[in-house]
Chains A and B, each alone.
Chain A
């Protein structure tokens, strides 16, 4: 099943990338998380007709991809589904919002077209920002950052456990699927007669496994209230990065820098 293979590859790829020794990987996770959240808030707060500022926000992503040596091309591949969803949602805008603002040749440009384009760009940029965060920050580091902003330990432990067991279950589901396909060739999905038994048996095994996991965790001294690996606080380098990025984001969002640059050439 391609979907499962792709999911396994995605998790492995991101895990490997997050453990690289790049410049962005060394920045404190809390700083990266805060900058990403600020970026998304500033991006989504842009007016729906403000295409220029939306385009300007791409500068942050380009800079991040250069600093962190990250591939935008690879990131864009994972956007197909989201883009389709946003397109479906945005397609109503050119139909219902038809005020003509200018012409490109004989083709009229309407406010609806602009708002649809802005919506698609916002969608792409917001996902790329989160994608770059996870490419340079491991899940443990993100959980650590969440812990620093006082997210309860129970929730963090659950997130970490889910993440750790995702690969195990994806591989198990993949094995079940292969075994099923070999017994039922040329079948698109699971036959309705096997719906309950196929997943139900895996579910029962999962619950049993959870008990074993709990016992082994308890033997190692697990306590959800005290459990967490302590890490260093954000260093000077991380805070310099934070302030520089914050200033950049504010400039991109609130200063008409591109009108100024464009004005020089026109």
Chain B
């Protein structure tokens, strides 16, 4: 779900930076108030690295031949709590963006919001509510599944809104949402099951490690796999059905896109209007309107000459670079011989 820089406009990027920055500042303030906050810092770092590394492990999904991975946000907040988990996720996302081209510097604020904020804060809220009457294995599975599905749905919905607000894609809102939400519903379920498996293991071995786990642990509570599976199936049907309805609740956009593809005459008219409107908005907002491909032949000519100029300059610079490289290598060889 990592957004690349190209998927976001500077205005949306800055807004998301402000939003994520405010949450980060609040989290730092809250962490500082904790008695053992200094002790928590290494755990935050180590757990961040753990999440990063284990997200590289593929878990086979039975009967499908595909695989999934852990849900970092929920896992971190269920161990460290929402504030420390959120800060750890920022670190993970920053390193992923710099070293592995997952995300981008401008989109970092948006990625923090879409993955860390929902994963840690909404995730921990669900965790807290589920564990209100004490921690059991069944509740851990329930919290992991609902948490992962819901946080991923919210994250995917935010990606849709941010991309559309940035004016990057021509996809109508309805189509975009209908594509994003079901995919992330499946991903959320898979991640939920994997995260639940890990958290259940921790609960069995060291329940005190889990966030809020030490107070009301009911380890001896009866655990029925049949009941849990039945509840989960019901939950999946409800969430799945609900999300599908949500995804298709905007038929205008969907119909519009289908008509665009089939080339109906009625759409031709709408198409023209849409383009006229888009063009007028573009003319009003464009930084350098003369650069754009619009209606004038001369503009196309200018742009073509611009491309030719650009290609010439790029080739020229590459040749210069190549010559410098050859000279550099020669210089190094001479130095080594001396």
- List A residues at the B interface (Cβ < 8 Å): 1, 3-4, 7, 10-11, 14, 36-37, 40-41, 43-53, 55-56, 58-59, 62-63, 65-66, 69, 78-79, 81-82, 85-86, 89-90, 92-93, 95-99, 101-102, 111-112, 114-115, 119-120, 122-123, 126-127, 130-131, 133-134, 139, 142, 152, 154-155, 157-166, 168-170, 172-173, 177, 187-192, 195-204, 206-207, 209-211, 213-214, 217-218, 222-224, 254, 256-266
- Give me 9 A-to-B residue pairs in the complex whose CB atoms sit less than 8 angstroms apart, sorted by A's number: A48-B167, A96-B172, A98-B271, A169-B54, A204-B209, A211-B43, A224-B41, A259-B309, A262-B312
Q: Is B10 an interface residue (CB 8 A)?
A: yes
A142 to B194, CA, bound (A): 34
A152 in contact with B321 (CB, 8 Å): no
A104 to B92, CA, bound (A): 46
Known: A40-B106, A52-B307, A126-B5. A161 touches B49 (CB 8 A): yes
B60 in contact with A41 (CB, 8 Å): no
B87 in contact with A155 (CB, 8 Å): yes
Q: Range of interface residues on chain B?
A: 35 or more
Number of A-B residue pairs at CB separation under 8 A: 371
Q: Is B154 an interface residue (CB 8 A)?
A: no
B282 in contact with A47 (CB, 8 Å): yes
B45 in contact with A160 (CB, 8 Å): yes
| Chain B, Cβ-Cβ closest to A92 | B171
B46 in contact with A206 (CB, 8 Å): yes
A214 in contact with B43 (CB, 8 Å): yes
Known: A40-B105, A188-B65. A166 touches B60 (CB 8 A): no
B99 in contact with A14 (CB, 8 Å): yes
Contacts of B225 in A (CB 8 A): none
A53 to B167, CA, bound (A): 18
A162 in contact with B206 (CB, 8 Å): no
Besides A133-B98, A189-B59, 9 more A-B contacts (Cβ < 8 Å) are A53-B291, A63-B317, A96-B172, A130-B5, A134-B98, A154-B87, A163-B49, A211-B42, A263-B305
| Chain B, Cβ-Cβ closest to A62 | B317
Q: Is B39 an interface residue (CB 8 A)?
A: yes
Q: Is B243 an interface residue (CB 8 A)?
A: no
Contacts of A160 in B (CB 8 A): 45
A170 to B51, CA, bound (A): 10
Instruction: Give, as a whole number of angstroms, the nearest-CB distance from B70 to chain A.
Output: 7
A96 in contact with B170 (CB, 8 Å): yes
Known: A126-B4, A155-B24, A195-B198. A101 touches B293 (CB 8 A): yes
A41 in contact with B325 (CB, 8 Å): no
A199 in contact with B70 (CB, 8 Å): yes
Contacts of A197 in B (CB 8 A): 201
| Chain A, Cβ-Cβ closest to B286 | A47
Selecting from B123-131, B234-242, B244-252, B296-304, the interface stretch reads B296-304
Q: Is B214 an interface residue (CB 8 A)?
A: no
B5 in contact with A10 (CB, 8 Å): no
Q: Render B146-177 as a binary contact track against A, CB cut-off 8 A, 1 for contact.
A: 00000000000000000100011111100100
A262 in contact with B306 (CB, 8 Å): yes
Contacts of A164 in B (CB 8 A): 45, 49
Contacts of A3 in B (CB 8 A): 56, 58
Q: Is B22 an interface residue (CB 8 A)?
A: no
Q: Is B326 an interface residue (CB 8 A)?
A: no
A261 in contact with B169 (CB, 8 Å): no
A101 to B175, CA, bound (A): 26
Instruction: Give, as a whole number of angstroms, the nearest-CB distance from A106 to chain B.
Output: 17
A266 in contact with B325 (CB, 8 Å): no
Contacts of A224 in B (CB 8 A): 38, 41
Known: A65-B321, A210-B43, A258-B313. A97 touches B303 (CB 8 A): no
Contacts of B294 in A (CB 8 A): 49, 101
A260 to B87, CA, bound (A): 49
A187 in contact with B7 (CB, 8 Å): no
| Chain B, Cβ-Cβ closest to A172 | B53
Question: Among the listed A36, A157, A207, which residue makes an inter-chain contact with B105, where contact means beta carbons less than 8 Å apart?
Answer: A36
| Chain B, Cβ-Cβ closest to A93 | B170
Per CB-CB distance, the 10 closest pairs between chain A and chain B, nearest first, are A161-B45, A200-B201, A262-B309, A262-B305, A261-B309, A165-B49, A196-B201, A126-B5, A52-B306, A169-B53
B8 in contact with A44 (CB, 8 Å): yes
